[in-house]
Amino acid sequence: MGNTQPSQPLKARPPHECPYFCCCAELLKSLELPERYFTARYNMCYCEECSRRRKDKRFYPRADKQYGLPEGWTRFSLQLESYKLKYFDLWHRAYHGTTFKNVSSILENGLVVPGTYVGGGDSVSTRKGHFNDHFGPADFDTEQIFLSPSIKYVEMEAYSTTQTVRVNRKRYQAKVAFQALIRPDSYSVGPQTTGRKSPIDPPLPNSEMEWSTSDSDDIILYGILIKIIDY
């Protein structure tokens, strides 16, 4: 990573030359999101071929944490205010899974705790499969924003649900997530809540799969991630 944004590996294949990236880009275009949210400068494809060309490692050290690349996904970078760029060297990296219908609201309002009313008078609710007021441990605080350092955890169905999306007259099974920075010491670390016994994403321990905070100001979204399952 450079002094402002994530580093661009030398001699990397430009994302726009990758067929998989192009297909994901068309999927993103179909969402008809305002262009003001995006900058193409730091787009990146993490498909197997592009990662092999760059000789990517699975994990990299970032701000005293292990940062796992989003293997199999494509990143479309978001436009950030200049003062936020310094945090790439200081804040931790995390992921947040969602659905395609929620992308526009998240871009407009950021990540917010369940129960928050956003534009149009809609209230953000807990996703099906997550712990809520009626399901989960009695002492589990559901009024939190949940992220994870692991893309493998976030791409589970309870967090990033596989959906059918039409692109250029063809239907694909795809997922969407956000890539984020989160301020150190602002969040709590907890175990996975899926009931999984085996390791989810070594060397990250299952006991540290979920990061939670109630303050959206501690989170900076810097990329939309898209993965096509049946490409």
Residue 4 lies in a domain: no
pLDDT at 194: 87
Residue 5 lies in a domain: no
pLDDT at 157 over 70: yes
pLDDT at 128: 56
Residue 120: domain span: 15-228
* Local structure of 170: helix, strand or coil: strand
pLDDT at 138 over 70: no
Q: Quote the CA–CA distance of 55 and 153 in Å, as a whole number.
A: 23
Given a contact cutoff of 8 angstroms between Cβ atoms, the answer to whether 193 and 124 are in contact is no
Residue 2 lies in a domain: no
Counting the structural domains of the chain, the total is 1
Residue 10 lies in a domain: no
Q: Residue 129 to residues 125, 161, 224: CA-CA distances in angstroms?
A: 12, 10, 22
Residue 94 lies in a domain: yes
Give the CATH number, domain containing residue 116. Answer: 3.90.228
pLDDT at 10 over 70: no
Is pLDDT larger for residue 133 or for residue 172?
A: 172
pTM of the predicted structure, to 2 decimals: 0.84
Residue 93 lies in a domain: yes
Residue 7 lies in a domain: no
Is pLDDT larger for residue 140 or for residue 46?
A: 46
Instruction: Please state the rounded mean pLDDT for residues 133-137.
Output: 47
